[in-house]
Amino acid sequence: MEALDILEKRIDTLTRILGVVPDNGLDESPKVAASENVIDSLISANNIVNEAISGREKIKAIADRSEELETYLDPHFLEENQQVRAKEVYLNAVANDLHTQFQQLERIKELEPTLGAEYFRNIPGECIDKLKQVNEDNTEFSQQAELIEESLILAMKRYGEIQKGLLDSLGAMNKRLEAVEEKLQQNKKEQMEKELSPKDQE
């Protein structure tokens, strides 16, 4: 029924585009006459197309893929592909994290019998306090390690800036030395030319 409804909607659309065609004075309603006229035209056109492509395998193969073409022309097709592409990009972005979490989950499953053992549930009160203290110490050490890491990163960044400044300064000094050497060579050449000039006159 859905296919028939779609076909009926398409026929109505064609009727609106083509307009009501006169039906030689018949008493049928204009809408019914126009619909039948459009249907007859579609059937006739389909027969003509089938006769035209008979014996032409390549054209027939193209016509057979018309349904696939309609799928690609569906405005929702591109949107669905974009959604799939977005999901693919997201999965590729979090693939490493998912792999790490999966490994951790597998490790937890392996340790589950030990972690759920009875002797972990009957820990004395003084040991619990010590465990809490150890946990707090570990948290503090972790924060200190993060601060040290940030300091090292800043120091390395500063070292890179200083190194770049030194290289720029050395480059500028090298250019100045080359200019001085070039000037000295020019002065030396002019001096030699002056010394040779009196001898040439004699």
Over the chain (202 residues), the average pLDDT of each successive run of 10 is 69 70 51 60 78 76 75 65 70 82 86 67 74 86 88 87 88 89 88 73 56
User: Within a domain: residue 165?
Assistant: no
In the chain, count of helices (H) and strands (E)? Answer: 8, 0
User: Within a domain: residue 158?
Assistant: no
Query: Quick one: 97 and 63 in the same domain?
Result: no
User: Within a domain: residue 31?
Assistant: yes
Proportion of the chain in helix, strand, coil states, percent, rounded to 5: 90, 0, 10
pTM of the full structure? 0.30
Report the run of H or E that residue 122 belongs to, with start and end.
none
Query: Quick one: 101 and 69 in the same domain?
Result: no
Angle made by CA atoms 20, 23, 24, in degrees to the nearest 5: 140
Convert the pLDDT of each residue in 24-80 to its tens digit: 554 445 555 555 666 777 778 778 877 777 777 777 777 777 777 777 676 666 655
Q: How many domains does the chain contain in total? A: 2
Query: Quick one: 24 and 44 in the same domain?
Result: yes
Query: Quick one: 15 and 25 in the same domain?
Result: yes
Query: Quick one: 59 and 20 in the same domain?
Result: yes
User: Within a domain: residue 179?
Assistant: no
Residue 114 structural domain: 75-122
Distance (Å, whole) CA 6 – CA 14: 12
Q: Which residues are within 8 A (CB) of 77 and not within 5 positions of it... i.e. 6 or more apart?
A: 71
User: Within a domain: residue 29?
Assistant: yes
Query: Quick one: 48 and 95 in the same domain?
Result: no
Query: Quick one: 82 and 104 in the same domain?
Result: yes
